[in-house]
Amino acid sequence: MQAVPQLSNIRQVSDGWIKKYVLAYTMPDGSTYEYESASRKSLEAYRAELEGNAAGRACAADAVCIVPQTATGELLLIREFRYPLNSWCIAFPAGLMEPGEDLATCVDRELREETGYALRADADAPALDPLPQAGYSSTGLTDETVHVVFAQVEKVADAQPEPAEFIEPFLLPIADVPRFLAENETPIGTRAQLVLEAFARRRRLADSRPPADASRS
């Protein structure tokens, strides 16, 4: 296996809700290399996480991204004003996990806050279908991990966003996803873009297949 850089020191250079770190590495040839990164974690927690990553230990998810679907075949998305962009952005409901919170509780809470929807109580299949593991948001910038969860949802109340959150939930019929992607001009999050494109490609593939009786003629 190829030799890799070895972490030798972590230096915190700014504080706040998002913290900036400088990671010092010893390269395989003995030289030193510094890399800047960002994290919401404290220095001690970030150091423990990086050491755990090197040892192959799985880390807990920092946040969830929910792909909600209604019983009538619609996807629930949001338009949210994102401050780093100074713009609206298309996304799926998402949010940070609170300390000690399990996945189902976090998903249900974020859905209710951002959209007024909740996990369906009457679904034939489990209302919650998470991917096997959390994934990293942007490995060149931050250690943030996000667990993507598919969910069966229903409307239960009005949304209850935080005062600084500007969120507009909307429903998108799955059949209309290809058209939406072709016509949308609003900035869109990568996760939403990839999931919607998967739905669109599946739809186009289904539309391209000949009718069952035609294939036998």
pLDDT in tens, 88-115: 999 999 999 999 999 999 999 999 999 9
pLDDT score for 122: 87
What secondary structure letter does DSSP report for 106? H
In the chain, what are the domains? Answer: 6-54 (no CATH), 63-206 (3.90.79.10)
Give the Cα separation of 145 and 165 in Å (integer).
22
Mean of the per-residue pLDDT values for the chain? Answer: 94
| Structure token pair of residue 113 | 């806050």
> How many C-alpha atoms does 46 have within 13 Å on its Cβ side?
21
pLDDT score for 59: 84
Give the Cα separation of 94 and 26 in Å (integer).
37
Mean pLDDT of 137-146: 96
pLDDT score for 214: 54
How many other C-beta atoms are found inside a 10 Å radius of the C-beta of residue 97?
A: 22
Q: Is the pLDDT of residue 185 over 90?
A: yes
Q: Is the pLDDT of residue 215 over 60?
A: no
User: Cα Rg for the chain, rounded, in angstroms?
Assistant: 21
Over residues 26-63, the pLDDT tens digits come to 999 999 999 999 999 999 999 999 999 999 998 889 99
Q: Is the pLDDT of residue 199 over 90?
A: yes
217: pLDDT confidence band, cut at 50, 70 and 90?
Answer: very low
What secondary structure letter does DSSP report for 168? E
- Phi and psi at 137, nearest 5°, equal -70, -50
CA dihedral 5, 11, 14, 17 (to 10 degrees): 70
Over residues 8-22, the pLDDT tens digits come to 999 999 999 999 999
211: pLDDT confidence band, cut at 50, 70 and 90?
Answer: confident
pLDDT score for 173: 98
pLDDT score for 212: 66
Q: Which residues of 183-202 are buried (b: 16+ CB within 10 A; e: fewer)?
A: eeeeebbebbeebbeebbee
**Do residues 145 and 135 touch, judged by C-beta distance below 8 A?**
yes
In percent, how much of the chain has pLDDT > 90? 88
pLDDT score for 113: 97
Q: pTM of whole model > 0.85?
A: yes
